[in-house]
């Protein structure tokens, strides 16, 4: 039995900014790399937390859509933030982005994120 994984690459989300793939599909599960507040079309970082969070969620939608998935396919998210004082904004965005029952979630505060981002979210989805 051989190991098979499919690399995901799409213009619907920002290109990788390092040595990683936008996502990997294996055994019915999609592992998407973390999304930061880059504009998918221009590659520019949004100027503030609220607009970064908006771009992050749009980029997640882009990744999902590229694979024929929807938000309902998300089973787990991991959120990285440089300031947990803004966590209530994430919860507000979740109410508009997801419908109950919500996916599992972990959140951690980190000292820094790529390109000066304030928030990064990675998702795991399944068919």
Q: Say which CATH number the domain at 54 has.
A: 3.30.1330.40
DSSP class of residue 109 equals: E
8 A C-beta contact, residue 43 and residue 29: no
DSSP class of residue 103 equals: P
Global pTM value: 0.95
The CB density around residue 101, as the number of other CB atoms within 10 Å, is 7
Domain total in the chain:
1
Domain range holding 88?
Answer: 6-126
Task: Show pLDDT as tens, one digit a residue, over the chain (127 residues).
Answer: 678 999 999 999 999 878 999 999 999 999 999 999 999 999 999 999 999 999 999 999 999 999 999 999 999 999 999 999 999 999 999 999 999 999 999 999 999 999 999 999 999 999 9
- Please state the length of the chain: 127
21 lies in some domain: yes
96 lies in some domain: yes
**Nearest partner of 94 among 103, 84, 83, 85, judged by Cα:** 103
82 lies in some domain: yes
64 lies in some domain: yes
1 lies in some domain: no
8 A C-beta contact, residue 87 and residue 81: yes
């Amino acid at each position: 039995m051989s190991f098979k994984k499919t690399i995901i690459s799409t213009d619907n989300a920002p290109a990788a900014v390092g040595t990683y793939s936008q996502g990997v599909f294996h055994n019915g599960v999609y592992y998407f790399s973390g999304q930061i507040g880059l504009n998918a079309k221009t590659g520019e970082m949004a100027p503030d937390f609220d607009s970064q969070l908006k771009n992050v969620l749009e980029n997640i939608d882009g990744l999902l859509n590229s694979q024929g998935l929807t938000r309902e396919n998300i089973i787990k998210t991991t959120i990285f933030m440089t300031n947990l004082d803004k966590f209530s904004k994430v919860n507000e965005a979740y109410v508009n982005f997801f419908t109950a029952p919500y996916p599992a979630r972990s959140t951690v505060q980190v000292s820094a994120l790529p390109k000066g981002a304030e928030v990064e979210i990675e998702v795991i989805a399944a068919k």
